[in-house]
Amino acid sequence: MSGINKPSLNAIAVENEGELRSVASKVFGMPVTLDSRRFEDQCFAARLEVCKRQLCEINPEHQLAIGACSTPDDLRALIERADIIAPHNARALAAEGGRLFRIDDVSASSTGGLTLNWSAAGIGFGQATFYVGKEDGRLHVDPECMGRHFVRSLLVRLADELVIDGDA
């Protein structure tokens, strides 16, 4: 798994290292199986590190306790303490773990980029617009104040909705 640090690639269920290299080089159009539990665990771990850094900045006197958190239960127990100041993202991560958001509907339109219209249980609806930046040539997204984890959930739902031409 060396060199691959994307949860969606790391969580693909593969039989051997050779198959992993093939998946890593040909992700699009290849039939692969996502190990959803492993994917959720890796999403949680990636989000936890960012969350722990923020918690340490706000609560510098509790760095050891914050550093010891490694599971959603650990994080929930920590933020329930009266002496810990917990921002919204720590509370959300403790509640969600690494689970993907439930996206009820997604549709796409092309208007100078790619716009995904979505609706999500308990959140509402909105759009995420993907475009290539003029200055840096990189792919950008305007997710209407939704975070990276939400965009990941949206793209996973989009992948589930796709009809791939030529598939049986």
Show Cβ contacts of residue 107 under 8 Å, excluding neighbours closer than 6 positions: 116, 117
Q: Give the end of a domain, one of 96, 113, 131.
A: 96
- The model carries a pTM of 0.55
Instruction: Flag whether 13 is in a domain.
Output: yes
Same domain, 77 and 117: no
Range of the domain at 126: 103-161
pLDDT digits over 32-70, tens only?
A: 566 777 778 887 888 888 889 999 999 999 999 999 999
Same domain, 49 and 92: yes
pLDDT digits over 80-129, tens only?
A: 999 999 988 788 788 777 777 677 767 777 666 788 888 877 678 888 88
Instruction: Flag whether 122 is in a domain.
Output: yes
How many domains are there within the chain? 3
* Residue 153: CB atoms within 10 Å: 22
Beta carbons of 84 and 60 less than 8 angstroms apart: no
Beta carbons of 119 and 125 less than 8 angstroms apart: yes
Q: Give the end of a domain, one of 96, 117, 133.
A: 96
- Rounded to the nearest 10°, the torsion over CA 13, 158, 7, 146 is -160
